[in-house]
Structure 1
């Protein structure tokens, strides 16, 4: 704050300029802020009819308000693929949860152009909890992509400065630390903050980042379908960096939404294949591997039904210490072809049994002087040497195994273990 005493013409002029700017800001009404916001806003009735839309979104669409308000639904603004996804997944999920955040869709923009967007919708309810309308925010995803590229250019500039001088090197180290922090935050946003508690089961997970400078494409999740069933999945998107992160986000949201619509594992993976193939068929091809399954507790056991799309088979550690894989032959990569085949598989877990899912960063680690692949046989042997003490103990042992690989572990690795209680305690001697 500046204090003025006596006559100070320059100071008075500066204060007058500041007061004028502040007055102009106050005169900027809420309606003007709504209309000219850097993102799109719209409100719809519960049947999807658009009741209000701001000028920013209308400009993207190239349509007058009279052609939109009261005449079109939000789904009508989307491309054919986006409309299908909205009707079959987005809308049902919004109705069930009351809020959906950060879903990637495509808008039919002015001139018939496809415009990538990120959509967040929330249902407004009355004091009695009755739904009144849906408020939706639409973000231009092109800006996000430009921001990610700007981060990469910043990192490259910092590394170049490091080679020029010691002073520049220290600056580059600081820039790199900030970048890694940003990437770590974004990486965590692609994973569940914590696994939910499942009655009668124990769950544990671990994510190993091979490089703090690159976003990985591994993902996993565990979530309820209803009072009696739980869904889980684990997979790996091809490539790394912002593009892989975008595919990972789309994949996770699609799997969750598809499972709530129809939890059959083959159907869920088929829906994901359709979404990925339609989104990336005309441009840079993107695909992933994934294993999706359903847990359904029964009398003294838990039934497991799953399907795999090009992903390594799940490994089962039984309560007696034996291990075996649950094969899913013929599962194809997800997103490459318009029509694919996925093979279902089923098993039952009894008290003390653990189901392990993993990405190929683990089995494709290089070990020994000859840098041989670690392989699935070695993983099965290692697991068999571990006492059947449940998912948490197994994940702890595998985390130590990953650390022992050193620089031989050059890919991200995700682990998810699910087991049926009870497990023997340490006093049992097992």
Structure 2
């Protein structure tokens, strides 16, 4: 069973985390700097004490060499010269060959050799006697201890002051985010007509504000498109239902012959099938847009699927006198076969439905270095002012008067765009040579 560490409530704030991090960094720097300074001073003091001991040793040896001819005892020499030799708080201890103390410069001096770690010393051996020149290290350690405590106190004060300053500075730095959030709260799914204004002139805040405005604009357009879709869907569903109800009322208005009943039922069946197809297309479009149809990709030859879609439309094309000119090359890609079938079927259906009679539909399939490009071109009487991008809108019909002829419901290209978006393909429409060119690009 996994356990998770839950942060305290204050640390969930970016301001608190940044302040804590900054204070921690300052504390670490203070600790490292203080430790380095203390260590450096300890080494320097150790070196000075050692040098003073060596100077004392040299002084003793110099005095001994000067008075050696006079035959004075070592003890007398030390007593006469102890003021000069023991300058700087040095302690002198003279011991005999058995280690017993013969003489010492201070009565409170410790017993040699059990002086402990609180002393630094040098020794001189002469005629069976040993002179110990020592320096008491305890007062120096006490000074370092006081200095260390002072540095700790200073560090606490500096870290506390730094934390308060960081809290204020970070708060001022992040305050534009709160102002921006307050502006964004005015936006909702129903009303996205909100333009955010940058609370500061900082480059990062300007970039964030521009990004959020772009997002809100895109959401607004999507919400408007969704609203148009719902309105159009309601209208498209209501029309065949009203037709069905009207036909049923007409049939029930009086008794009719068997032939009349059969004709009425045929009409009802036709409208019911149209309604069923509309509902099916709506469900399919919604599933694609909501990413509910995550079909697995397989290695396929796109040429096979294009030829198959063209063959399925041959009968409808022949009825309108259309010639399908296909220039296809083998194009292996990774794609969901189901989505390919939906895409190509709708593109071919639209090409046949909206093409001028007795014209040519041209199919081109080319494999390039990193992509495969499919082009479907047909002669289509559409005004130059018509925006081809609007054809992807649900229920859009370039010529409403031809709706009854084509039998379409205006969802084909919307489904094509949803399929391409779901799979990372690119689809475009463009006016080309008095016709309409649909281009789909598949990455390889």
Q: Which structure shows the bigger proportion of residues in strand conformation?
A: 1
Which is greater in Rg?
Answer: 2
Q: Is TM more than 0.5 here?
A: no
Q: What band does the TM-score fall into relative to the shorter chain?
A: under 0.3
Q: Which structure shows the bigger proportion of residues in helix conformation?
A: 2
Q: TM-score, normalised by structure 2?
A: 0.19
Q: TM-score, normalised by structure 1?
A: 0.20
